[in-house]
Chains A and B, each alone.
Chain A
Amino acid sequence: MNEKKSSKRERSFIYKPFIVPTITIAQNNKITIEQAYQLLSYSTDEVTFESESGTVQVIGEALTITLLYEEQMVMEGVIREVRFLSS
Chain B
Amino acid sequence: MKRIQGKQIVGHVSLRIDGKHPEFFLQRCVQAKIPMWNIKKISNTTYIIHVYRGHRSRVQRLGEQLDYDVTVLKEMGLIALIKKLFQRRELFVATILAILFLFVLSNIVWDVKIQGVSTELEEKINEQLVSNNIYRGSFLFQIDTVNEIENNILNDIPELLYISLERRGTVYVAEAIEKTIVEKDSPLQNQHLIAAKNGVIQKMFIKKGIPVVQLNDVVRAGDILVSGTYEKNDENDEDTEKKERTIISADGEVYATTWYEIEVSSSLLLHEEKVSGEKQEKLHVKIDKLTVPLWGFHHKQYDESVKLYSEQPVYVFKWKLPFTLLYETVYNKDTLTHIRTIEEAREMAIEQAKKQLLHKLDQNAKIEKYYVLHETVESGKVKLYLYVTVLENIAKGKAITD
Contact = CB atoms under 8 A, between A and B. Distances in A.
A68 B31 contact: no
B313 interface: no
B4 A67 contact: yes
A68 B23 contact: no
Interface residues of A, number: 16
A66 to B, nearest CB: 6
A69 interface: yes
Interface stretch (B33-41, B210-218, B314-322): B33-41
A40 B23 CA distance: 6
A74 B1 contact: yes
Contact of A66 (B27, B37, B47): B37
Interface string A36-62: 001111111000000000000000000
Interface residues of B, number: 20
A3 interface: no
Contacts of B1: 67, 74
B262 interface: no
Nearest to A69: B35
A64 interface: yes
A70 B23 CA distance: 14
A65 interface: yes
Contacts of B10: none
A68 B26 contact: yes
Contacts of B27: 38-39
A57 to B, nearest CB: 14
A29 to B, nearest CB: 15
Nearest to A66: B37
Nearest to B40: A64
B161 interface: no
Contacts of A44: 41
Contact of B39 (A40, A41, A65, A70): A65
Given A44-B41, A69-B30, A39 B23 contact: yes
A68 to B, nearest CB: 4
B3 interface: yes
A42 B35 contact: no
A39 B30 contact: yes
A24 B27 CA distance: 21
Given A67-B1, A70-B30, A70-B31, A42 B36 contact: no
A68 B37 contact: yes
Interface string A56-87: 00000000111111101010000000000000
A39 B27 CA distance: 6
B4 A42 contact: no
A72 B4 CA distance: 12
Contacts of B39: 42, 64-66, 68
A72 B30 CA distance: 9
Interface in A2-57: 38-44
A67 B36 CA distance: 6
B41 A69 contact: no
A72 B37 CA distance: 11
Nearest to B36: A68
Nearest to A73: B30
B41 A68 contact: no
Contact of B30 (A41, A68, A74): A68
A38 B35 CA distance: 14
Contacts of A69: 3, 30, 33-36
Interface of B: 1, 3-4, 23, 26-27, 29-31, 33-41, 47, 49
Q: What 6 A-B pairs come out closest when comparing CB atoms?
A: A65-B39, A69-B35, A68-B36, A67-B37, A39-B23, A39-B27
21 contacts: A38-B27, A39-B27, A39-B30, A40-B23, A42-B41, A42-B47, A43-B41, A44-B41, A64-B39, A65-B36, A65-B37, A65-B39, A66-B38, A67-B3, A67-B35, A68-B29, A68-B30, A68-B36, A69-B3, A69-B35, A69-B36
Given A40-B23, A69-B36, A72-B3, 13 more contacts: A39-B26, A42-B26, A65-B39, A66-B37, A66-B39, A67-B37, A68-B30, A68-B37, A68-B39, A69-B33, A69-B35, A70-B30, A74-B1
